[in-house]
A and B are shown apart, each in its own frame.
Chain A
Amino acid sequence: MPQLEFHTFPSQIFWLLVVFVALYFVMARLALPKIGTVLESRRRKIDDDLERASAQREEAAALLAAYEKALAKAHAEAKSIHAQAHQAMADMIARRQAEVGARIADEIRAAEQRIHAAKQPAMAELEEVSAELVQAVADRIAKVKVTMTDARAALKASGREG
């Protein structure tokens, strides 16, 4: 078995030592530090990117919240403006109604007064005519001379009875 040919051992062990030590130095000094820094910088880059992404997400969320707040505020303002306008309109309507109502009432009152004023002389005149009629009737039928004053009193008395 070639594995047990002991005269080959020194050469195998010698070159194992040489090659292994050489490979060790190449790996330890050259290959591994380089790959280590590459991996490290990538990890840092990914961490940075994630951090920035989360910061931007928070910023976006804050912007959204501000926007929603502004929207809610605008909504509330619109509502209050609407309510104010509604109130102002209602007030105006009530005021106009009151004004118009008052004017109509005034006109009715004035008209009633005019009617009353017109009625007074007409009534007095009617009384006068009635009294003259009473005088004339009494004079023609009963041949009684009745004074104007008595005729009026008689009319009033009959008016109270009737």
Chain B
Amino acid sequence: MASPLHQFEIQPIVPIELGGIDISITNSALWMAIAAVTATAVMVLPVRRGALIPGRWQALSESFYEIIANMVRDNVGTAGRRYFPFVFTLFMFVLFGNVLGLIPYTFTYTSHIAVTFSLAAFIFLAVTAIGIAKHGFRFLGLFFPHGAPAWTAVILIPIELISYLSRPVSLSVRLFANMTVGHVILKVLGGFVVSLGAFYAIPGLLPMAGLVAVTALEVMVAVIQAYIFTILTCIYLNDALHLH
């Protein structure tokens, strides 16, 4: 039986090399593309006619739109309106990566730290740049709570600074770890089911029941992690736009 980590292996499909750097089309790239196409299909096809009374698929597209639009409005306010397309794309990219990854034999690109950290690092840099562009020197006020006694700066500034700098790490590791661990558990339980014989022996039924339950849990985790990733981005954006 293959190792539980085998599912995370990146396999080239079309080897490409550019200036000595390997940028092959891999299973990861393939599933990114599939997720993007699926997300596009979900968001574009049902609203072609723009029916006044939405059908099921149009209601789904509209729900996605409204969930993220409300999230941006509630967490960032009207100033966040310009960043809505980015936040929306981020949500769809992570959500479809997580959910499609749960289908057996697919690949979960969000289980790779390279992907999640790239996203988190971009968000971190962009949010910092927006904050500095908007507030200039006053952006540093983010590291010292307004109204705290001056002498507490010695403690508070390092704490705030470290917590700020650890944002991209926590943001990316949370998603990567959740996806990786979930898939490992599914794989291990699946291995028990096969080795104990789910279909002809009683002992295999136990891991089978567990597998069903954990699969349901993982569907929930896939959605929730996409939601958390997106809402934290909104919160960081809000900090940069409005300080605190």
Q: Select which of A3, A17, A26, A34 is within 8 A of B8 by beta carbon.
A: A3
* B160 CB to nearest chain A CB (Å): 29
**B187 on the A face (CB < 8 A):** no
Q: Are A41 and B50 in contact (CB under 8 A)?
A: yes
Q: How far is the CA of A23 from the CA of B36 in the complex (A)?
A: 6
Q: Are B23 and A14 in contact (CB under 8 A)?
A: yes
**B155 on the A face (CB < 8 A):** no
Q: Select which of B22, B43, B84 is within 8 A of A10 by beta carbon.
A: B22
Q: Are A36 and B114 in contact (CB under 8 A)?
A: no
Interface residues on chain B, size class: 35 or more
B-side contacts of A157, CB under 8 Å: none
A-side contacts of B115, CB under 8 Å: 12-13, 16
Q: Select which of B22, B25, B39, B180 is within 8 A of A3 by beta carbon.
A: B180
List A residues 20-52 near B (Cβ within 8 Å).
20, 22-24, 26-28, 30-32, 34-39, 41-42, 45
Q: Are B50 and A32 in contact (CB under 8 A)?
A: no
List A residues 62-100 near B (Cβ within 8 Å).
none
Q: Is the interface of B mostly helix, strand, loop or mixed?
A: helix
**B227 on the A face (CB < 8 A):** no
A-side contacts of B33, CB under 8 Å: 15, 19
Q: Select which of A7, A15, A24 is within 8 A of B86 by beta carbon.
A: A24
A-side contacts of B65, CB under 8 Å: 32, 35-36, 39
Given contacts A2-B9, A31-B47, A38-B62, contact A15 B23 (CB under 8 A): yes
**B144 on the A face (CB < 8 A):** no
Interface residues on chain A, size class: 35 or more
Stretch in B87-95, B135-143, B201-209, B231-239 touching the partner: B87-95
**B113 on the A face (CB < 8 A):** yes
**A149 on the B face (CB < 8 A):** no
**B166 on the A face (CB < 8 A):** no
B-side contacts of A3, CB under 8 Å: 8, 111-114, 176, 180
**B52 on the A face (CB < 8 A):** yes
**B163 on the A face (CB < 8 A):** no
**B2 on the A face (CB < 8 A):** no
9 extra A-B contacts, CB within 8 A, seeds A12-B28, A14-B23: A2-B5, A5-B10, A10-B23, A11-B23, A12-B26, A12-B109, A23-B36, A38-B58, A42-B52
List B residues 100-148 near A (Cβ within 8 Å).
109, 111-115, 118-119
A-side contacts of B92, CB under 8 Å: 23, 27
* B53 CB to nearest chain A CB (Å): 8
B-side contacts of A15, CB under 8 Å: 23, 25-26, 28-29, 32-33
Residue of B nearest to A26 (CB): B40
